[in-house]
């Protein structure tokens, strides 16, 4: 794989602008190469008596260089006696306009032919290196600040553990008791200082510290042993005094007499670990929150879980920073070697020496902090099990299982076969011409159309995942998915096609549309198949066992519960994105309502129902149609009052207009009067215009008049601009699908239920297109702010 592709595949998408622009520098080198080839004198013709291919064959007789390359000091980098005048470049440190140190290269061969091209190359190379070096230094500074915060959190956790394990403990003076506490808790402020600089600052503060335990020294022997034996685990501390003293961590002599700083608990409070409807209502009513510390096992478990997530996310930052440094150093090394090869100069040695002495090449804070974090996490959060701790901290790439692909192909073949069989049966038996056709369409067809809506939405989501990955949209980070359990497009396709096979098989099982001598009567079992299938889907969705992608199912259920209880939970992106999906599934909500009416109030054995004439059913039709829009309205109101964002208020008005439009269209479908028709047209037009404008401008970030891409954004992830124009036009057209309902547009070759299903499917397709560009815009917003990590709430609040 070429380095440019490797760099593109491994870089953090949100930091793309901060990486070395390898492709641009490579383009400059290509210009230099083209210039030299144009101006190179023609080589003299060389006559040879050797046959074709002899030069290649002569290489077979060269001396064997050996399998192990032994370095020689004579062949190493140029020594100090090398002639300085022969150097093509001179690299020096300069003060930049922003007050930070930078590097500048003087090209000493600009008088040579084509030297102006090489001069431009080194100027751009300096710009790229100074950009990378500045960004890396800023990110390391942020990491060190966060390390200091985590250090304080760990001090509070250790003190909290002491109070939980020993409620009556009150800072004894005898060193025996103090050593016992230190041995049991295995606490260390030095280990969680996480860096040499922060640990030095912490030791010089006036506040008292915990007994300092050298995490590295205490765990290095056992951990290194476990590196050789993957299945072995570090023994926990024994209960005997002799074994305790043997296994106990090493305590520094100058710190061994310090009592545990339990007074630190007087200056901290516990944040609310999880927001609940109860806590939200208390906050709304200004009820004072209980902030005093309760030393219980339950609270300690919650605190440890929060800090565990914080350390995991922090380690991920360190890992990505280390990868950032490595990729950029490799990029500068490779581009300089290409320069030497093209120009036949030896400039890479001088420039790479400067890089090695720079902060990017010389700083090892990230590596040291990462080692400290791993040692602390293994000891305090994985019970000294190194393998388990590193499994959590170092997520491995999700393997593509062959069985997923195999089952995907199997279900795809079954789906196509069932669709073909269904078409052939309908054509061969002339079912569409039989008198039972209408009864089937008003009873069973709405039941099965529910599965069509679900499968279509899942297929659109699978397509979204495929194109998000192709155009480097970091959808797991945006949605907050766990990288180990996030579903790929193959898994989503597998689930959707599996459901399609079940639904199509059920359709074929009760395809008879009339009572005839062959069947004699409708079969009770076959008529219940749609209900059985719905129950099966719900059971699989809420199944607590670890089957059929349980983490993804529970994530979906959590977001669904938050959407239902919209104003009682803090609104995050996955919650309102899911609620937006439901606004495109209004007809699916109506299908659920029809299920209840058909199977509990109708005579399903005779395919007969009176739902269309039931007043209760009609009344609930208004409520069901507005449920998803009400969820979004409540989410917008929560964000408006919580974030003081006026745009959320306007967004709420948009959903309120949609609620009014849906209600008036439903009223017109029940009362075909001119008054309701006019009201429905006006309200639907207002909702369509406001919704379309919001989609294009705010959700997609398009229609920017000042953009360098006409009516688009300055930056686009899809290289083809026509895709955006087509998407905008398609969004407008599909937004006007409500015209079919208000204007009573009927197609004689389609049944009314079929038309309703087609219109609902068009809305699902519009939502699928919307999903891609909505997350693309979110990805670009994250990239502008270099936001590549989640903000994990910490358990303790310090009163400085």
pLDDT tens by residue, 749-768: 788 889 999 999 999 999 99
State residue 261 phi and psi, 5-degree precision: -80, 65
Q: Which residues are registered as beta bridge partners of 798?
A: 268
The pair of structure tokens assigned to 680 is 């429905």
- The DSSP code for 129 is H
CA-based nearest residue to 620, from 599, 655, 584, 596: 596
- The per-type count for the chain, helices as H runs and strands as E runs, is 29, 4
> Which of 163-172, 229-238, 539-548 bottoms out in mean pLDDT, i.e. has the lowest?
229-238
- Angstrom distance (rounded) from CA 553 to CA 317: 27
Instruction: Indicate the helix (H) or strand (E) that contains 13.
Output: none
Give mean pLDDT, residues 7-20.
Answer: 91
Answer whether 287's CB lies under 8 Å from 349's CB.
Answer: no
Q: Which one is predicted more confidently, 235 or 787?
A: 787
Q: Is the pLDDT of residue 229 over 50?
A: no
The DSSP secondary structure of 372-429, one letter per residue, reads HHHHHHHHHHSTT-HHHHHHHHSPPPPP--HHHHHHHHHHHHHHHHHHHHHHHHHHHT
Q: What percent of the chain has pLDDT over 90?
A: 47
Per-residue pLDDT, 505: 92
Answer whether 573's CB lies under 8 Å from 778's CB.
Answer: yes
- The DSSP code for 738 is G
- Angstrom distance (rounded) from CA 215 to CA 186: 9
- C-alpha 76: how far from chain center: 45
Per-residue pLDDT, 27: 92
Per-residue pLDDT, 167: 67
Q: How sure is the predictor about 513, in pLDDT bands with cuts at 50, 70 and 90? A: low
Q: Which one is predicted more confidently, 518 or 588?
A: 588
The model carries a pTM of 0.81
Q: At how many degrees (to 10) do helices 365-381 and 297-343 cross?
A: 150
Note the pLDDT tens digit of each residue in 408-426. Answer: 999 999 999 999 999 998 8
The pair of structure tokens assigned to 371 is 């080692």
Q: How sure is the predictor about 291, in pLDDT bands with cuts at 50, 70 and 90? A: low
Q: What percent of the chain has pLDDT over 70?
A: 78
Note the pLDDT tens digit of each residue in 248-257. Answer: 333 333 444 4
Q: Is the pLDDT of residue 199 over 50?
A: no
Note the pLDDT tens digit of each residue in 524-560. Answer: 777 888 999 999 999 999 999 999 999 999 999 999 9
Q: Is the pLDDT of residue 431 over 50?
A: yes
CA-based nearest residue to 152, from 265, 3, 75, 316: 265
- Angstrom distance (rounded) from CA 173 to CA 161: 19
Four-point Cα dihedral 119, 125, 130, 133, nearest 10: -150
Contacting residues for 387 by C-beta, under 8 A, at least 6 apart: 226, 230, 231, 233
Domain ranges in the chain are 1-36+87-396, 700-787
- Angstrom distance (rounded) from CA 189 to CA 147: 12
Q: Is the pLDDT of residue 182 over 70?
A: no
> What 3-state class would DSSP assign to 107?
strand
- Angstrom distance (rounded) from CA 681 to CA 667: 12
Note the pLDDT tens digit of each residue in 666-701. Answer: 999 888 889 999 999 999 999 999 999 999 999 999
Q: Which residues are registered as beta bridge partners of 94?
A: 102
How far is CA 570 from each of CA 305, 400, 563, 566, 643, rounded to the nearest angstrom? Answer: 20, 35, 10, 8, 10
CA-based nearest residue to 382, from 247, 219, 545, 241: 219
Q: Is the pLDDT of residue 771 over 90?
A: yes
Q: What rounded mean pLDDT belongs to the chain? A: 80
Four-point Cα dihedral 623, 629, 634, 639, nearest 10: 180
Q: Which one is predicted more confidently, 54 or 295?
A: 295
Note the pLDDT tens digit of each residue in 200-218. Answer: 443 344 333 333 334 444 4
Q: Is the pLDDT of residue 311 over 90?
A: yes
- Angstrom distance (rounded) from CA 654 to CA 762: 21
Q: How sure is the predictor about 324, in pLDDT bands with cuts at 50, 70 and 90? A: very high
Q: How sure is the predictor about 78, in pLDDT bands with cuts at 50, 70 and 90? A: very low
Answer whether 418's CB lies under 8 Å from 504's CB.
Answer: yes
Q: Which residues are registered as beta bridge partners of 796?
A: 270
Per-residue pLDDT, 764: 96
Q: How sure is the predictor about 748, in pLDDT bands with cuts at 50, 70 and 90? A: confident
Q: Which residues are registered as beta bridge partners of 102?
A: 94
Q: Is the pLDDT of residue 176 over 70?
A: no
Answer whether 493's CB lies under 8 Å from 464's CB.
Answer: no
Q: Is the pLDDT of residue 195 over 60?
A: no
Q: Is the pLDDT of residue 224 over 90?
A: no
Q: Kindly report the CA angle at 703 between 584 and 787, in degrees rounded to 5?
A: 75
């Amino acid at each position: 794989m070429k380095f440019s592709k490797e760099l593109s595949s491994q870089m953090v998408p949100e930091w793309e602008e901060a990486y070395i622009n390898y492709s641009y520098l490579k383009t400059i080198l290509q210009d230099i190469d083209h210039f030299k080839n144009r101006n190179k004198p023609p080589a003299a013709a060389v006559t040879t008596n050797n046959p074709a291919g002899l030069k290649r064959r002569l290489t077979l007789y060269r001396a064997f260089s050996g399998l192990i390359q032994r370095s020689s000091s004579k062949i190493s980098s140029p020594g100090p006696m090398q002639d300085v005048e022969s150097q093509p470049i001179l690299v020096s440190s300069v003060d930049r306009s922003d007050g930070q140190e930078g590097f500048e290269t003087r090209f000493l061969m600009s008088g040579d032919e084509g030297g102006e091209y090489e001069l431009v190359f080194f100027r751009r190379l300096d710009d790229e290196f100074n950009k990378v070096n500045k960004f890396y230094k800023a990110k390391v500074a942020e990491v060190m600040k966060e390390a200091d915060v985590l250090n304080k959190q760990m001090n509070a956790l250790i003190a909290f553990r002491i109070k939980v394990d020993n409620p009556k403990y009150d800072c004894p003076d005898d060193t025996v008791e103090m050593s016992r506490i230190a041995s049991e808790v295995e606490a260390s402020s030095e280990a969680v200082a996480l860096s040499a600089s922060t640990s030095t600052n912490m030791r010089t503060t006036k506040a008292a510290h915990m007994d300092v335990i050298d995490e590295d020294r205490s765990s290095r022997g056992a951990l290194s042993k476990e590196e050789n034996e993957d299945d072995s685990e570090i023994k926990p501390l024994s209960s005997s005094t002799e074994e305790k003293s043997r296994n106990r961590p090493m305590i520094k002599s100058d710190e061994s007499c310090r009592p545990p700083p339990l007074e630190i608990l007087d200056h901290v409070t516990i944040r609310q670990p999880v927001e609940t409807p109860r806590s939200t209502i208390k906050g709304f009513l200004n009820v004072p929150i209980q902030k005093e510390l309760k030393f219980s096992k339950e609270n300690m478990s919650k605190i440890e879980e929060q800090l565990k997530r914080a350390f995991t996310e922090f380690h991920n930052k360190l890992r990505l920073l280390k990868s950032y440094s490595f990729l950029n150093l490799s990029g500068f090394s490779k581009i300089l070697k290409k320069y030497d090869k093209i120009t036949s100069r030896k400039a890479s040695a001088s420039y790479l020496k400067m890089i090695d002495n720079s902060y990017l090449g010389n700083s090892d804070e990230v590596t040291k902090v990462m080692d400290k974090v791993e040692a602390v996490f293994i000891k305090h959060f994985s019970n000294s099990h190194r393998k388990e701790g590193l499994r959590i901290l170092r997520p491995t790439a999700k393997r593509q299982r062959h069985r997923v692909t195999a089952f995907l192909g199997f279900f795809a073949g079954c789906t196509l076969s069932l669709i073909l069989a269904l078409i052939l049966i309908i054509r061969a038996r002339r079912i569409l011409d039989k008198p039972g056709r209408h009864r089937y369409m008003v009873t069973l067809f709405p039941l099965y159309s529910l599965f069509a809506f679900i499968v279509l939405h899942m297929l659109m989501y699978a397509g979204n995942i495929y194109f998000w990955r192709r155009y480097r949209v970091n959808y797991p980070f945006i949605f907050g998915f766990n990288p180990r359990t996030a579903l790929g497009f193959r898994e989503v396709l597998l689930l959707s096609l599996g459901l399609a096979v079940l639904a199509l098989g059920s359709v074929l099982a009760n395809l008879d549309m009339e009572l005839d001598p062959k069947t004699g009567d409708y079969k009770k079992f076959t008529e219940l198949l749609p209900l059985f299938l719905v129950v099966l889907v719900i059971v699989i969705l809420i199944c607590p066992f670890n089957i059929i992608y349980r983490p993804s199912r529970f994530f979906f259920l959590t977001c669904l519960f938050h959407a239902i209880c919209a104003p009682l939970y803090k609104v995050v992106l996955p919650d309102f994105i899911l609620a937006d999906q439901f606004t495109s599934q209004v007809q699916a909500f109506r299908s659920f309502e029809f299920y209840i009416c058909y199977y509990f109030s109708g005579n399903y054995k005779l395919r007969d129902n009176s739902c269309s004439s039931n007043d209760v059913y009609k009344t609930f039709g208004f409520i069901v149609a507005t449920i998803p829009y009400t969820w979004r309205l409540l989410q917008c109101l929560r964000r408006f009052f919580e974030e003081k964002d006026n745009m959320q208020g306007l967004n709420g008005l948009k959903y309120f207009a949609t609620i009014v439009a849906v209600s008036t269209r439903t009223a017109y479908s029940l009362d075909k009067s001119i008054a309701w028709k006019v009201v429905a047209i006006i309200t639907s037009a207002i909702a369509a215009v406001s919704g379309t404008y919001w989609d294009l401008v705010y959700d997609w970030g398009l229609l920017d008049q000042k953009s360098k891409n006409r009516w688009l954004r300055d930056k686009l992830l899809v290289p083809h601009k026509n895709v955006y124009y087509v998407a905008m036009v398609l969004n407008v057209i599909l937004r006007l699908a409500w015209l079919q309902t208000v204007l009573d547009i009927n197609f004689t070759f389609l049944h009314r239920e079929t038309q309703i299903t087609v219109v609902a499917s068009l809305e699902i397709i519009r939502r699928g297109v919307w999903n891609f560009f909505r997350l693309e815009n979110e990805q670009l917003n994250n990239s502008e702010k270099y936001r590549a990590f989640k903000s994990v709430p910490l358990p303790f609040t310090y009163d400085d």
